[in-house]
């Protein structure tokens, strides 16, 4: 897959960091925000948030040191998305719905990156690329636009995104779209976010 400029100039660890930071920033939008008032639906809303949070925690571990393999992540995390995607009503709770789209795209893209890495490392005897991991070439634009829609200040979110993209291009530029680049540390990600990660 050839992604659009300038995202195809980022090493894959940096691409994953870009979507991770976007998802992390909008994650609070999903906390304690529910589409329905019934106790069962409120419980599902909390499970949706906890599912996203658990995926986000695994993603940063992978960015740092690849201790999680893509097949396990897909089976234990991404495959559960059918229970959560679509929970928010896109008209009634447009910001929450956009935030969940950011998180889902981040989780799915990260899973694809993990599987590519595992394939290069010959972790599996057979190729493992599930059909739910097919993206268009503008996955990054789509994810960043959803993050702007979810934000209380879309212009400020866009400015922040531009700043992060510029920093990642400076530090993790590549001519090879299959280049994973160097591992990216938690400290580097915290510097991008401007805060310590609580997990």
* pLDDT profile of the chain (199 residues), mean per 10: 83 97 94 72 84 96 94 91 75 86 94 91 71 78 95 96 97 94 97 96
Model pLDDT, residue 171: 98
- Residue 195 lies inside a defined structural domain of this protein: no
Domain containing 156 equals: 7-190
State the total domains in the chain.
Answer: 1
Q: Is residue 197 part of a domain?
A: no
Which residues touch 182 (CB under 8 Å, ≥6 apart)? 11, 13, 172
First-residue to last-residue Cα distance in the chain = 32
The token pair that represents 127 in the structure block: 């190729």
What pLDDT shows up at residue 93? 81
Q: Does any domain span residue 150?
A: yes
Residue 147: name the closest of 63, 17, 26, 56 by CA. 26
Q: Does residue 2 lie in a domain region?
A: no
Determine what percent of the chain falls in helix, strand and coil, rounding each to the nearest 5: 65, 0, 35
What pTM value is reported for the model? 0.91
For the stretch 176-194, what's the b/e string if a residue is b when 16 or more beta carbons lie within 10 angstroms of its beta carbon?
Answer: eeeebbeebeeebbeebee
In a domain, 117, yes or no: yes
Q: What is the rounded CA–CA span in Å between residue 32 and residue 36?
A: 11
- pLDDT, residue 34, reads 67
Torsion angle (degrees, nearest 10) of CA 155, 166, 2, 23: -50
Helices then strands, each counted (H, E), the chain: 7, 0
- 186-193 vs 39-65: helix axis angle to the nearest 10? 120
Please indicate, yes or no, if residue 1 is contained in any of the structural domains: no
Q: Based on the number of CB atoms within 10 Å of its own CB, is 37 exposed (0-12), middle (13-18) or buried (19 or more)?
A: exposed
Residue 140 domain-assigned (yes or no): yes
User: Is residue 55 situated within a structural domain?
Assistant: yes
């Amino acid at each position: 897959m050839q992604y659009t400029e300038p995202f195809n100039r980022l090493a894959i660890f940096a691409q994953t960091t870009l979507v991770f930071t976007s998802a992390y920033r909008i994650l609070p939008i999903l906390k304690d925000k529910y589409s329905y008032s019934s106790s069962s639906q409120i419980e599902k809303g909390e499970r949706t948030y906890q599912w996203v949070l658990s995926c986000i925690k695994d993603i940063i571990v992978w960015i740092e040191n690849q201790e999680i393999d893509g097949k396990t992540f897909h089976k234990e995390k991404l495959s559960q998305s059918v229970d959560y995607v679509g929970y928010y009503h896109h008209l009634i709770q447009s910001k929450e719905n956009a935030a969940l789209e950011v998180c889902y795209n981040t989780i799915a893209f990260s899973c694809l990156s993990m599987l590519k890495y595992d394939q290069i490392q010959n972790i599996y005897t057979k190729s493992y690329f599930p059909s739910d991991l097919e993206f268009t070439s503008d996955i990054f634009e789509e994810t960043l636009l959803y993050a702007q829609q979810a934000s209380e200040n879309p212009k400020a979110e866009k400015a922040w995104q531009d700043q992060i993209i510029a920093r990642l291009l400076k530090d993790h530029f590549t001519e090879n779209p299959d280049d994973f680049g160097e591992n990216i540390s938690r400290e580097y990600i915290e510097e991008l976010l401007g805060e310590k990660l609580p997990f």
